[in-house]
Amino acid sequence: MTTTIKAVEASFDTLSRYSEVPISFLVESVFRVEPEEKGLAGITLREEKIARPYVKDYDAARGEGPTRWLKRFDMSGWGILMAFIEDRHVGGAIVVLGGSIDNLDKRFAQLFDIRIHPDMRRRGTGASLLQHVADWARQYGCEQLKIETQNTNVPACRFYAGQDCELWHIERYAYIGYPESEHETRLVWYLKL
């Protein structure tokens, strides 16, 4: 079932309301990264169940969460989209235009955050919101949308693959220095706009 949403551009003073939609999810499996011939023959991602499932909440991490980002980042080149079904706030996305994060050039936008209310997940809401994000980035001349997730977020990886995103980078040691995330691998996807 596909859910059609209305996405509206919002201002930074809505970050508190934006953060009311939880971003947490249950980790029941991970993609184990297996380099073949030390990576020269490629890398395989193999899904494996974990012994002790746990809840991952990006907002609970040190210094994270939408209400803290204005203090951490120059958000002047960022866009906030709030997603609604009728009057119900069901999700949102924050998009960075090139130059603000990772020194992206102007042809790129970065999906910094996307969240869908848990009872609206796996109903097409995320696909509809991602389409709004792509349309928003296109209007600024962007050609690619960069998306970061982790090997611990298997549902997100499957979602992005199903939305014609391509996995371009696998960074096994991206989170060294962040004890709660050191075991995770960064997966960077791109969506051609």
**What are the chain's domains?**
6-192 (3.40.630.30)
| Predicted TM-score of the model (pTM) | 0.90
Q: Pull the structure tokens for residue 16.
A: 């508190």
Dump pLDDT digits (tens) for 3-48: 678 999 999 999 999 999 999 999 999 999 999 888 888 899 999 9
Dump pLDDT digits (tens) for 117-149: 999 999 999 999 999 999 999 999 999 999 999
User: How many other CB atoms sit within 10 Å of the CB of residue 159?
Assistant: 21
Q: Distance between CA 191 and CA 193 in Å, rounded?
A: 6
- 96 and 130 Cβ atoms separated by less than 8 Å: no
